[in-house]
């Protein structure tokens, strides 16, 4: 065997994929546009802190490296909500023992690069992908340090270079009938920091994802191993308030004091960070095909960039690797069978998680303060507690149920939503939601609605 | 004034736009990727023959050149249908005096180039747009004849370089939050020819658009001034029958003999043409924004490529020019007012005609043989005849009513569709559709439904 594989992009998915491929005996070279983040002091890319959940964990376990990652993952058992009146509330994510994990993108990426190199993977940093010649499957890179051109001609090429993938662009521009869509929401995000307290202590509950929900926008904070929290402000680009309206550090501080008072008190560098840190946009990318014959495939964000409101971007990319691995096994490394099935299997799931994530954005933006919506969620949760075999909430299907495909979770969720619309239309539901009749009606509907 | 304007692309829209701009006193240079089609014997681009209708005519009249175009336009008063059993039927397009016009893209484009040059426009052929520097608004071209680089730095730039616009790509790749979608249908098309009869006579009715509707696919033919007809086969890429299944000239001929017998008998070169002529794809492009500040705009297919099933691609692009002209007048050539309003006005209309054209494709593909659908169209037509002030069929709104915006036509069409759904749900409608009650109900619904 010993096929040569080129992976474009040494991000989270590219690094993990290279480990999977090395384990199966492939000789893997990664080409990465940026310098080595383990040496240079650079940002780990535009990203919020990440929530590693069951799909991602399953993919890390399968390739035998979850034990290496666990030390840098901080369990978060629920949402810790900071209300505008200064009160708090707490919602567990799932049942006892179900949690998601805060990981720093930078730390995780460095770890995965270390592990990849340990597995014999060559990582070429400072190599920008310029172009792929699809007749020869020859990739042209610019070595930006040495200012010279490099070409690589391999048996198999993966484009794991993220939402703005150069590999995808080259694929797109030279492929007839390439379906492509990039869609930006009108919200952006900015990263801010709550530094550690004395002796690297956490200034808030460590094992939770902190949220300051404010209707049209929100601040979140995830714990880091050094005692700090990485905060992300999701905020409209335009309007009032918006990134456009908070156009001085003083206005930002005043807004934070009024809107996120407890967080503001823990952010000594807010003014500096608000000005210096980028305001980043949030894109959804859908495309097709993801592959070319038996020699090229897109994977991770390059194939299906999504908005972060379900915390699934990385988990979905890791699951791509796990699915691909199962297909290598199934088809005994015959890539003319593996790649078409990879695409057939994963494209509907990539589309589904993209839609689920956008739906969650709309939900968070428009519905989170709507009493009817909150009542509906309460009824669903109560029914699910009584009948865990009949009703897994959509969030839990996506986050804690890696055996349910994203596309199934989307379908199940629509079915549940239809049933709940009927329930919510029952007279006086606000007062009668705990009646036995409601439970019976849900059970009845579940039997009638096709699953 | 005498602002310098660069227009990228000397196609139909670029050429017409340059005439509009010259008339207002601008100094216009067009850069065109291809050689001069008036000298070299090259194809006029991938395109079916064109149907020039009222929106396009209005734009040509406004700039005073319709008299130059009329001699190359052949009126088509209705659809001449060739059924599979050898019978014919005829549907007029609209009321007495309403017709569309067959024009050859090549002839029209050459004419518009001649007129542009007459108006003092410089056309630089063999200039491929490589890149636009959006800080300096400097455009880099490759002169492909001389093999040298050329840059142009102008006050104002238009990208009228078609569905696969290089100007748009450069705009897109350097614009944060650029919304973009390209969507291909799974049908392609191929041009074929019915040559003239003896003495350049027409072998079929001259003043009609000929259609061979066959459910899932169709052949059409439009008359040319030389007595020939340009035929276009709209056909699935895959499946049976499809471009993939007709993979030899013999199979193509046999299929035509069986399916389009009368046409086949008039196509001596079918075998040769079927192999030599390209199978082209059909794309819809939606994007936003169309402009940059007061210095750049996309126009025509570059802004809004659509499928040809409403015969509106060119008409829509010509209407863009007419709308832009009205705004130059309104804002006294102040481009910082003109361009934003052009975009605000035209983007919803571009989206609407794209959707209308796709709907027509679905209608033609799935519904044309459905008796319920045909009955619905009959009821609509009959009502419209009685109440022309209350009900203009969607086709006529788009084709013969340039005072109705595409976006209004789409809205009106949805409203009509909702009303017709109720009518079609009436018991025994197939036998009762001429009852007075049906007419009354439509009138009633029209009063109730918001227009």
Whether residues B281 and A184 touch (CB distance < 8 A) is answered with no
**Beta-bridge partner residues of B213:** B218
Residues with Cβ within 8 Å of residue B26, at least 6 apart in sequence: B1, B2, B3, B4, B5, B156
Q: Cα distance from A404 to chain B (closest Cα, Å)?
A: 30
Give the mean model confidence (pLDDT) for residues B398-403: 96
Q: Cα distance from A346 to chain B (closest Cα, Å)?
A: 20
Best of B182, B186, B278, B305 to substitute, by most chain A Cβ atoms within 10 angstroms, is: B182
- Give percent above pLDDT 70 in chain A: 97
Model confidence pLDDT, tens digit, residues B121-142? 999 999 999 999 999 999 999 9
- Dmax over CA atoms of chain A, in Å, equals 73
Q: Which residues of A touch B283 (CB under 8 A)?
A: 177
Model confidence pLDDT, tens digit, residues A65-76? 999 999 999 999
Q: Are A255 and A241 in contact (CB under 8 A)?
A: yes
pLDDT at position A370 is: 79
Give the mean model confidence (pLDDT) for residues B193-222: 94
Q: Sorting pLDDT into bands at 50, 70 and 90, what band is B46?
A: very low
Q: Which residues of B touch A178 (CB under 8 A)?
A: 182, 184
First to last CA, chain A: 44
Average pLDDT, chain B: 94
Count each helix (H run) and each strand (E run) in chain A, helices first: 16, 19
Nearest to A180 among B182, B237, B281 (CB): B182
Q: Note the pTM of the prediction, 2 decimals.
A: 0.91
Find, in chain A, the residue whose alpha carbon is nearest to that of B176: A281
Q: Which residues of A touch B179 (CB under 8 A)?
A: 182-184
* Residue B1 clears pLDDT 60, i.e. is over it: no
Q: Which residues of B touch A180 (CB under 8 A)?
A: 180-182
Nearest to B181 among A169, A181, A283 (CB): A181
* Residue A25 clears pLDDT 90, i.e. is over it: yes
Give the mean model confidence (pLDDT) for residues B112-116: 98
Q: Sorting pLDDT into bands at 50, 70 and 90, what band is A44?
A: very low
Short-list B370, B429, B437, B435, CA closest to B216 = B370
Model confidence pLDDT, tens digit, residues A3-21? 899 999 999 999 999 999 9
pLDDT at position B41 is: 64
Give the range among B36-50, B52-66, B245-259 with minimum mean pLDDT.
Answer: B36-50
Whether residues A181 and B178 touch (CB distance < 8 A) is answered with no
Give the mean model confidence (pLDDT) for residues B60-66: 98
* Residue A2 clears pLDDT 60, i.e. is over it: no
Average pLDDT, chain A: 94
Provide the b/e sequence for A73-112 (b: ≥16 CB within 10 Å): bbebbbbbbbeeeeeeeeeebbeeebbbbbbbbbbbbbbb
Whether residues B182 and A179 touch (CB distance < 8 A) is answered with yes
DSSP letter, residue A201: B
Q: How far apart are CA B224 and CA B37, in angstroms?
A: 18
Whether residues A182 and B179 touch (CB distance < 8 A) is answered with yes
Q: Chain B residues with CB-CB distance to A under 8 A? A: 169, 173, 176-184, 237, 281, 283
pLDDT at position A363 is: 82
SS3 of A292-337: the string is ECCCEEECCHHHHCCCHHHCCHHHHHHHHHHHHHHHHHHCCCCHHH
Q: Angle CA(B324)–CA(B70)–CA(B224) in degrees, nearest 5?
A: 115
* Residue A130 clears pLDDT 80, i.e. is over it: yes
pLDDT at position B451 is: 63
Q: How far apart are CA B225 and CA B104, in angstroms?
A: 9
Phi, psi of B423 (to 5 degrees): -60, -45
pLDDT at position A45 is: 43
Nearest to B184 among A169, A173, A177 (CB): A177
For residues A451 and B73, the model is more confident at B73
Q: Cα distance from A177 to chain B (closest Cα, Å)?
A: 6
pLDDT at position A369 is: 66
* Residue B204 clears pLDDT 60, i.e. is over it: yes
pLDDT at position A95 is: 82
In three-state secondary structure terms, A180 is strand
Q: How far apart are CA B64 and CA A288, in angstroms?
A: 45
Model confidence pLDDT, tens digit, residues B345-394? 999 999 999 999 999 888 877 776 678 888 998 999 899 999 999 999 99
Model confidence pLDDT, tens digit, residues B306-326? 999 999 999 999 999 999 999
pLDDT at position A260 is: 97
pLDDT at position B370 is: 79
Give the range among A87-101, A287-301, A365-379 with minimum mean pLDDT.
Answer: A365-379
* Residue B438 clears pLDDT 50, i.e. is over it: yes
Whether residues B181 and A178 touch (CB distance < 8 A) is answered with no
List C-alpha distances in Å: A153 to A137, A141, A158, A174, B178: 6, 11, 12, 18, 33
Q: Cα distance from B164 to chain A (closest Cα, Å)?
A: 9
List C-alpha distances in Å: A169 to A135, B175, B179, B285, B298: 16, 15, 15, 16, 21
Q: Chain A residues with CB-CB distance to B under 8 A? A: 169, 173, 176-184, 237, 281, 283
Whether residues A182 and B178 touch (CB distance < 8 A) is answered with yes
pLDDT at position B86 is: 93
In three-state secondary structure terms, A142 is strand
Q: Cα distance from A32 to chain B (closest Cα, Å)?
A: 20
Domain A4-43+51-72+105-182+283-360 homologous superfamily, CATH: FAD/NAD(P)-binding domain (3.50.50.60)
Q: Angle CA(A416)–CA(A421)–CA(A422) in degrees, nearest 5?
A: 100
Q: Cα distance from B98 to chain A (closest Cα, Å)?
A: 36
Q: Which residues of A touch B173 (CB under 8 A)?
A: 169
Pairing label, strands B4-8, B156-159: parallel
DSSP letter, residue B145: T
Q: Are A162 and A305 in contact (CB under 8 A)?
A: yes
Chain centre to alpha carbon of residue A175: 28
DSSP letter, residue A212: E
* Residue A39 clears pLDDT 80, i.e. is over it: yes
pLDDT at position B426 is: 93
List C-alpha distances in Å: B78 to A134, A402, B205, B309, B364: 47, 58, 11, 15, 17
Q: Sorting pLDDT into bands at 50, 70 and 90, what band is A417?
A: very high
pLDDT at position B44 is: 45
| Number of Cβ pairs < 8 A linking chain A and chain B | 32
- Give percent above pLDDT 90 in chain B: 87
Model confidence pLDDT, tens digit, residues B66-108? 999 999 999 999 999 999 999 999 988 888 889 999 999 999 9
In three-state secondary structure terms, B35 is coil
Q: Cα distance from B142 to chain A (closest Cα, Å)?
A: 19
Whether residues A281 and B179 touch (CB distance < 8 A) is answered with no
Chain centre to alpha carbon of residue B392: 21
């Amino acid at each position: 065997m010993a096929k040569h594989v080129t992976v474009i992009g040494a991000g989270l998915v590219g690094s993990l994929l290279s480990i999977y491929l090395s384990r199966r005996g492939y000789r893997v070279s990664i080409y990465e546009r940026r310098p080595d983040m383990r040496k240079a002091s650079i940002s780990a890319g535009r990203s919020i802190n990440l929530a590693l959940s069951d799909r991602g964990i399953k993919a890390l376990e399968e390739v035998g490296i979850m034990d290496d990652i666990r030390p840098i993952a901080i369990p978060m058992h629920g949402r810790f909500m900071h209300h505008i009146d200064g009160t708090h509330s707490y919602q567990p994510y799932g049942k006892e023992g179900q949690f998601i994990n805060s990981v720093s993108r930078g730390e995780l990426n460095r770890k995965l690069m270390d592990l990849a190199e340990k597995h014999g993977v060559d990582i070429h940093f400072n190599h920008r992908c310029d172009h792929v010649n699809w007749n020869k499957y020859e990739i042209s890179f610019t070595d930006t340090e040495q200012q010279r051109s490099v070409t690589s001609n391999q048996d198999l090429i993966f484009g794991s270079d993220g939402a703005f993938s150069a590999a995808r662009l080259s694929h797109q521009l030279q492929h007839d009938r390439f379906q492509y869509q990039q869609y930006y929401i009108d919200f952006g995000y900015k990263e801010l920091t709550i530094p550690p307290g004395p002796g690297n202590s956490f200034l808030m509950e460590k094992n939770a994802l902190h949220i300051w929900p404010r209707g049209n926008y929100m601040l979140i904070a995830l714990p880091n191993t050094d005692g700090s929290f990485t905060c992300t402000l999701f905020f409209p680009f335009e309007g009032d308030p918006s990134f456009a309206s908070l156009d001085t550090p003083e206005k930002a501080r005043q807004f934070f004091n009024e809107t996120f008072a407890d967080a503001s008190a823990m952010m000594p560098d807010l003014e500096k960070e608000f000005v210096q840190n980028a305001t980043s946009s949030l894109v959804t990318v859908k495309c097709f095909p993801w592959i070319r014959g038996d020699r090229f495939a897109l994977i991770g964000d390059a194939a299906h960039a999504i908005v972060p409101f379900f915390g699934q971007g990385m988990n979905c990319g890791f699951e791509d690797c796990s699915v691909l691995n199962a297909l290598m096994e199934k088809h005994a490394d015959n890539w003319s069978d593996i790649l078409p099935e990879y695409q057939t299997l994963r494209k509907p799931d990539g589309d589904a998680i993209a839609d689920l994530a956008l739906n969650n954005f709309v939900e968070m933006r428009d519905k989170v303060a709507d009493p009817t919506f909150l009542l509906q969620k309460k009824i669903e949760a109560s029914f699910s507690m009584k009948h865990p075999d009949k009703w897994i909430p959509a969030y839990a299907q996506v986050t804690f149920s890696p055996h349910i495909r994203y596309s199934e979770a989307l379908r199940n969720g629509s079915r549940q939503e239809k049933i709940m619309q009927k329930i919510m239309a029952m007279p006086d539901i606000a007062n009668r939601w705990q009646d036995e009749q409601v439970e019976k009606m849900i059970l009845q509907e579940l039997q009638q609605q096709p699953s």
